[in-house]
Chains A and B, each alone.
Chain A
Amino acid sequence: MSSVTDIADATAVLDAKAKPLKPKAEPFVSTTNACKLCKPLGATLVFKGIEGGVPYLHGSQGCATYMRRYIISHFREPMDIASSALGEKQAIYGGGPNLKKGLLTVMDKYGAGMIGVATTCLTETIGDDVPGILMEFRREFADLNVAPVVQVSTPSYSGTHMEGFTAAVRAVADQMACADAKTGAVNCFPGFISCEDIRHLKDVFASFGLEATILPDYSETLDGPAVEDYEKIPSGGTPVAAIKAMGGAPASFEFGRTLSDPGEAATAGGLLQSRFGVPLHRMGLPIGLRESDEFFKALEAISCKPTPRRHAMERGRLLDAFVDGHKYVAQKRCVIYGEEDLIVGLTSFMAEIGVIPVLVAGGGKSGRLKAAVHAACEGLVPEMPEVAEGVDFYDIADRARELAPDFFLGHSKGYRLAREMNVPLLRVGFPIHDRFGGQRIRHLGYLGAQELFDRVVNAMIEAKQTGSDIGYGYI
């Protein structure tokens, strides 16, 4: 029989586990191993997902090169980012002439169908008026048939790559969409998802008989086939004509539980709703059962069709798997980190299969993460997970060592921590720099949930196998 002190000790341990993110005397000033990337990177991905699109950074040459390298290492595909390649002179006298010259170069040599200009901290700080410069550019070359140019302000000193991503999607909608004609195609602004996720969304929309304009769509531009000739601009991407028609769409889908309120029109979906009255269906990323259900129910309502049998079967098999596998994952403790909308979806999924998310952490600072995580976990977990915004891997490691998770769920950058703690890291999201095929991981829908569920179960089985001397052949 356990003594009173034993129980007290046990309670103390539980209390320690339950306490909120360790209150530090002062938050650290320095950042160590950031859990975020800079703002322009997100914008370049969006522009890469538009047909004929060339991302263009207005700044010094290094930004473009660093981001290319970072993105290439995940997708293993060419990622051309043009740069206005500012030098000292331009930093003093303004980067306008270089910006214009570079635009002409990109149009001339790349035959760009669209150019997406994102600023950098350099050009934001020297105060280049990019909208003004572009207006001049259009005036000066009015006689040429210049490609559309979209610009977005992405100073890396404010916000993460996700704010850059969201801002770029909004900028495209803001500067290109109109409502001249009604279109049957619904808009979908999914956020930063994998190439496989985009392909899956296309399949799902198609199976409901819905035409969809998914923005961005880098499913082919960043995961293309082997080709006979190097394509200056890889084929694929959201067609410009479809983007222009977005204002006349019957509805928009927009994924993300930590996005700003639609009324603020700070996202593409919010903007199209307020400007053109396109009804917005805002929901979380369809990760796991409940969030996928919400997405499919919305599809049923918009298409006026029941869910096609193949997806109903996917859902059925997923539930069957939940039952078959629940004991392997039950009460396993998990640390989830990465982009805010993604980790909200992952947390929701983990909570519904009986995994206990003990820490949910991200480098972003939306101010909405905690509420979203709590809503996702409501009624499913013994205690709410710690939620940490604006943290780096130093903070995450600090808490993870104490919380002793059974596994990590996040991108590649948590590898060294997982290795130090000798627990599995299940790689999801971006970047995946130390495994093959990151662009082909499916996170969304019942199928994405199925694949991720299998991986979680198998990771726990493998941990049990390797942690035992017996060499279990049946588990």
Chain B
Amino acid sequence: MSDIIFEERKDQIHVKGEGPFKLACNRDSLAGAVSQRACVFCGSRVVLYPIADALHLVHGPIGCAAYTWDIRGALSSGPELHRLSFSTDLQETDVIFGGEKKLYAALIELIDRHQPKAAFVYSTCIVGIIGDDLAAVCKKVSAEKGIPVVPVQSEGFKGNKREGYLAACKAMFTLMGTGDTSDVSPISLNILGDFNLAGEIWIIREYFERMGIQVVANITGDGRVGDIARAHGAALNVVQCSGSTMDLAKMMQETYGTPVVKVSYFGIEDMAEALYSVARFFKDKDPDMLPRTQALVKEELAVLYPKLSGFRKDLEGKKAAIYVGGAFKAFSLIKAFRHLGMSVVIAGSQTGTPEDYEELASICDPGTVIIDDANPLELSHYLKEKDVDIFVGGVKERPIAFKLGVGFCDHNHERKEALEGFVGMYNFALEVHRTVMSPVWRFVPRRAGTALADTLEDLPKECAL
């Protein structure tokens, strides 16, 4: 193992129970290590991407736009402008002479063509170096076209994904406070940190609506510029995926006094608690909301529990590994796996904070490996050492699991199954069951070696002619 773990990264891995908990995190990725992380641009792009009636123009060479074309499964109930990939495709001459003119012309062209409600202009590495004045171009176009044109300061090298989240939040915050809030109810909220992957935000919205709450803005799943502009009128911000949108919630709290509750919509306890915490918040305005919410949860669980027990019979005692972008997902997943009779033996994230890891350590079983900013060597090492049955992660983690003959659950931006809400818990269990119980694992080399002869000695004696 010592030859697998980089010396510089030893304090970014902790095995629960082995000494007092301490984990280094939020530092730059080690040069030469194949980090699973992305960049500032990626952070901004994923947060703003689902805003479906905005133009998202990537100012830079083609790669940054090409690799983010339609990559998130963030669904829209209306316009789908977010699913197109716009770029200024900077060329050598632009790099030498500056890209401002091209940016201006591209913005005018695209705004005329698509009539978006706003435009986000993403800065990439190179723009930060050649020094294009993004803000000035945006201001000029905004004045000419009469829509918000918002620069996103997301130069890739200026930190990690978290800085990108912050840049996205700052960009969204500039839209806020401009919309009409006259029809916003005192019992209302914004959903922050949900991206409507596989239609998840629709599930959550429906719960809130059944509780009698008006949802003002989805930030950003199935998001709309107009809703964000009036989000300051909502009575409460409900924040999931705290890494990505907590900065926005803080800005709104400071400027508009909007209170915040932190939630997760994954798993049974966390989903129920999300609804209860919101109901408790509104208890003075609507005393019946809490009992209504309890009835809702009861109704959902009456459907869910019998279905889960079937899965649990098969899955009892199996082991899981989790490596996700933000740590909040890991908390919920650990609890969700317990409902299936499974234990989590590896838990890690790309961008967890010290507080995240403290919390993670507190809910993990002893012996669990807790890991920050892992790489394929470390992940494969622990997958094998812990002999896991399923790995939960994203696109880059999938081949690591599959190469070793380990089951996999896609818990990423591309997923096509809704995993949030009570129905999401069912979908999750179904997916876990499908992969863990597949017969294919019986045949993979890690479990079965090979059926064929490697050497002459492996041949049966009677075959000698």
| Chain A residues in the interface with B (C-beta under 8 A) | 28-34, 36-41, 56, 59-70, 72-73, 76-88, 90-91, 98-99, 101-106, 109-110, 120-122, 125-126, 155-158, 160, 224, 226-230, 232, 413, 416
Contact = CB atoms under 8 A, between A and B. Distances in A.
A101 B28 CA distance: 14
Nearest to B68: A66
Contact of A78 (B88, B94, B376): B376
B110 interface: yes
A101 B31 contact: yes
B89 interface: yes
Contacts of A66: 38, 42, 63-64, 67-68
B36 A65 contact: yes
B66 A37 contact: yes
Interface in B101-148: 102, 105-107, 109-110, 124-126, 128-130
Interface string B438-461: 000000111001000000000000
A122 B157 contact: yes
Contacts of A84: 31-32
Given A38-B62, A105-B6, A157-B94, A30 B125 contact: no
A226 B30 contact: no
A156 B403 contact: no
A40 B63 contact: yes
Contacts of A91: 125, 128-129, 157
Nearest to B58: A31
Given A105-B6, A105-B33, A61 B159 contact: no
The 5 closest A-B pairs by CB, nearest first: A62-B39, A105-B32, A38-B63, A102-B32, A230-B380
Given A28-B109, A62-B64, 7 more contacts: A38-B63, A61-B39, A66-B67, A79-B399, A80-B376, A109-B32, A228-B446
5 contacts: A60-B125, A65-B37, A160-B62, A226-B445, A230-B377
Interface stretch (B79-87, B249-257, B425-433): B79-87
A34 B31 contact: no
B6 A65 contact: no
B395 A73 contact: yes
Contact of A77 (B157, B399, B446): B399
Contact of B396 (A33, A65, A86, A98): A65
Contact of B87 (A31, A102, A158, A229): A31
A30 B106 contact: yes
Contacts of A104: 32
Given A62-B156, A77-B399, A34 B35 contact: no
A37 B42 CA distance: 17
A125 B130 contact: yes
Given A85-B35, A91-B157, A105-B30, A413 B69 contact: yes
A79 B17 CA distance: 34
B61 interface: yes
Contacts of B30: 85, 105
Given A61-B37, A105-B6, A413-B69, A122 B129 contact: yes
B400 interface: yes
A118 to B, nearest CB: 12
Contacts of B70: 416
Given A62-B39, A78-B403, A29 B102 contact: yes
A227 B38 contact: no
A68 B126 contact: no
Contacts of B28: 85, 87
